[in-house]
Amino acid sequence: MHSFEHDSDTSRTVFGTGTVSRVADELRRMGGRRALVLSTPGQRGLATLVAGVLGDATAGVFDGAVAHTPVEVTEVALARATEVGADSVVSVGGGSTTGLGKALAARTGMPHLVVPTTYAGSEVTSLLGETAGGEKVTRTGPEILPQVVLYDVALTTSLPWPVTVTSAVNAMAHAVEALYAPDRTADTDDLASRSLGTLADGLSALQSDADDLDARADLLLGAWLAGRCLATVTMGLHHKLCHTLGGSFGLPHAATHTVVLPHAMAHNAPAAPAAMATAAASLGVDDAPSGLQALVARLGGPTDLHRLGFELADVPRAADLATARPYPNPRPVEHDGIVGLLTHATEGTTIPAPAPTTPARTATPQIEENR
């Protein structure tokens, strides 16, 4: 019998279109009066928009968030928060910005509101990965979980198509690994399958019509559902590989997830047939690993690590790192297997669809002729 333990974190979620108009009310509700608004340099415009809506409740804008939350950047942002007299943090953007907001909130106890504009899912987790001295260390704790998440579909329409695809597949990765997590529950199975279906539908609809706001809403909703999977259950081999490739080889987060996920699924499929059947049904394909890889290719997403800057010569070291302290996984994590998986992902090998199972032939009736 499957057994599990389940702890749940709580935060407030507001979801809709045009919800950014409620940001000042939501800030006050969580006890903030003067917020430092955070963004990456590229999303300064979005941060300024949110700061404008906050009006007097804006203490300042800091647009220095970068990937992997380096502590040096956190220290500069902390100094800025003190300088402007901030009592709260508002993160506007993707996982990089949310990471900086979490780092500030965890150090100061300031309440944290997130306005997510990618599908990374960090906004609903108590996880924080920070980089110091070139090493990324992940920790978890209730002080890291943002108090309020305000999803505004309208703020995601500027997300370029390539980032839309990779970020949505990054969200799918949380859902897929939730389906075979050792601590999964009936709730997380439901969240995961709904997430995969909503994300796949949203991507296909948006590819047909780039202005389809309902498709954008599907993607953000699917990301929220996937984020809750990530927040609730233990991730496996796929996330370990992506953390290794991002942390030790500097590969881009969402694009790496996009290339590796179908290969990790193909690797795990023999040990997790029920999870793969659920994933396939949710994605609307016959076979989950090959079907997802074909979907990514149809959407124009990356299908090999080589183009992301990873070389075949890097495979043995990556396999060493990924197998040193593996995450729980349905299939035992063995060095040779991981070398094979990473080689396929680097070269972009097409994952074969399993041969269709044909119904067993009925035996030809034996007729005895009486001559």
Residues that bind ligand NAD (CB under 6 A): 40, 42-43, 46, 67-68, 93-97, 99, 117-118, 120-122, 125, 127-129, 155-156, 158-159, 163, 167, 170, 230, 253-254
Cβ at position 207, least distance to ligand NAD in Å: 18
Q: Are 102 and 81 in contact (CB under 8 A)?
A: no
Residue closer to ligand NAD (CB basis): 37 or 351: 37
Cβ at position 106, least distance to ligand NAD in Å: 12
How does strand 127-132 pair with strand 135-140?
antiparallel
Residue closer to ligand NAD (CB basis): 162 or 337: 162
Residue closer to ligand NAD (CB basis): 121 or 291: 121
Q: Are 244 and 319 in contact (CB under 8 A)?
A: no
Residue closer to ligand NAD (CB basis): 114 or 285: 114
Q: Which of 202, 68, 204, 93 is nearest to 158 (CA)?
A: 93
Cβ at position 359, least distance to ligand NAD in Å: 44
Cβ at position 235, least distance to ligand NAD in Å: 10
Cβ at position 286, least distance to ligand NAD in Å: 29
Residue closer to ligand NAD (CB basis): 172 or 285: 172
Cβ at position 99, least distance to ligand NAD in Å: 5
d(CA 276, CA 291): 11
Residue closer to ligand NAD (CB basis): 130 or 287: 130
d(CA 244, CA 31): 38
d(CA 96, CA 63): 11
Q: Name the β-bridge partners of 16.
A: 152
Q: Which of 165, 192, 132 is nearest to 252 (CA)?
A: 165
Residue closer to ligand NAD (CB basis): 46 or 178: 46
Cβ at position 34, least distance to ligand NAD in Å: 24
Element (H, E) at 30: none
In order, the DSSP letters of 31-90 are: T-SSEEEE--GGGHHHHHHHHHHHGGGEEEEE----TT-BHHHHHHHHHHHHHHT--EEE
